[in-house]
Amino acid sequence: MKRIAVLMCSVALVAVLMAVLLWWWPINPPAQTNFPPGDVNRGAYLARMAGCIACHTDIKGNGKPLAGGAPIATQFGTFHPPNLTTDSRFGIGSWTLPQFATALRAGVSPSGKPYYPAFPYPFYGALSDQDVADLWAAFKTVAPVEQPSPQQDLSFPFNMRFGLKLWRTLFIKPSRSTESADKSTRWNRGAQIVNGPAHCGACHTPRNLLGARIETRKFEGASNLPGGGTSPAITAAALKKAGWKSSDITHALRYGLTPKGDSLGGSMGEVVSEGTRYLSDDDLNAIATYLLDEPTK
């Protein structure tokens, strides 16, 4: 009996110790300080492409631009996209460009906290220094909105943010270029957009029980999206089987219409209306070129 008690105490002690270690474990990547000058217009364009505006604006609730998005209900709990306006108290007005870069590409906040991967920073890791500088220049033009960001509302054990450090170790791989020398410039531009800022895989690639994408099933479609939605497969094979041509893809991303004349509703409707419809013809063509010729895993 006594032995069991001792054993249990030791196990508990080890668990607490590990939790403390995990909590203390610093994850800040080395801060980068050299950035090229940013271009506001290019940044605004990227903010559309990357879905910053779609997610961090409460569109249905007629919220102010970037002042915080509508809640995202998942099986882990409810996420609240925070205020990204220049308000120095509630937004990111007091941040520096290097802090912004680390938040965006590494998913670590200025105070060293790991972000939940509902924020698609694993995709933004592919953004160049120029991209980051451009986005920053654009964000600096957003009017401040004094609106607090609600706390993330997650169930146990996901509410313990330090656990994300383990998650990161398990699932975050250094972003690797998907470019290919054998392919056209247009194809490569498409790969860059699709696998980077546009983060198509966030919804179209299925996730495992811990919410990490299953890369061997890239673009095969997912169920259990926030709010209980599902997404169709967008592999080259699936698109071709469904009869989608290049012009169908560009048309869908520009106008939110399927080849049957139906409109894309649900979260894709928002992706189009707040994001892809603003993209240039060249970029939409690049996306279609890449998707219809996506290498198999």
Partner 1 sequence: MSLNKYSTAALAVLVAVIATASANVSAHTGATGIVKERMDLMDRIGDAMKVLSGIFKREHAYDADAVAKSARTIRDHAGTAMTKLFPEGSANPPSVAKPEIWRNWKSFKALAKDLETYSAALADAAPRGDTPAGGMPSGPAGHGMMGGSMMGQGMPGSMMGGQQAPTSDMLTVMPPRALFGHVTATCASCHTKFRTEKHEH
Residues forming contacts to partner 1 in the complex (CB under 8 A) are 40-45, 47-48, 53, 57, 60, 64-66, 138, 141-143, 221, 229-230, 232-233, 238, 242, 247-248, 251, 254-257, 259-267, 269-270, 272-273, 277-282
DSSP labels for 239-262?
HHHTT--HHHHHHHHHH-B-TTSP
Shortest reach from residue 34's CB to partner 1, in Å: 24
Could you give the CA distance from residue 40 to residue 88 in angstroms, rounded to a whole number?
Answer: 20
Could you give the CA distance from residue 268 to residue 221 in angstroms, rounded to a whole number?
Answer: 13
- Please identify, using beta-carbon distances, which residue of 41 and 180 lies nearer to partner 1: 41
What are 222's two structure tokens? 């997912």
Name residue, tokens 């013809």.
281
- Please identify, using beta-carbon distances, which residue of 140 and 161 lies nearer to partner 1: 140
Shortest reach from residue 285's CB to partner 1, in Å: 11
- Please identify, using beta-carbon distances, which residue of 132 and 164 lies nearer to partner 1: 132
Could you give the CA distance from residue 3 to residue 160 in angstroms, rounded to a whole number?
Answer: 31
Shortest reach from residue 279's CB to partner 1, in Å: 7
CB atoms within 10 A of CB 139: 24
- Please identify, using beta-carbon distances, which residue of 70 and 108 lies nearer to partner 1: 70
- Please identify, using beta-carbon distances, which residue of 113 and 251 lies nearer to partner 1: 251
Shortest reach from residue 257's CB to partner 1, in Å: 6
Closest CA to 129 of 164, 146, 104: 104
DSSP assigned state of 156: T
Shortest reach from residue 5's CB to partner 1, in Å: 54
Shortest reach from residue 11's CB to partner 1, in Å: 46
- Please identify, using beta-carbon distances, which residue of 141 and 159 lies nearer to partner 1: 141
Distances (CA, A) of 9 to 13, 16, 18, 23: 6, 10, 14, 21
**Opening angle at CA 283, ends 297 and 138, nearest 5:** 110
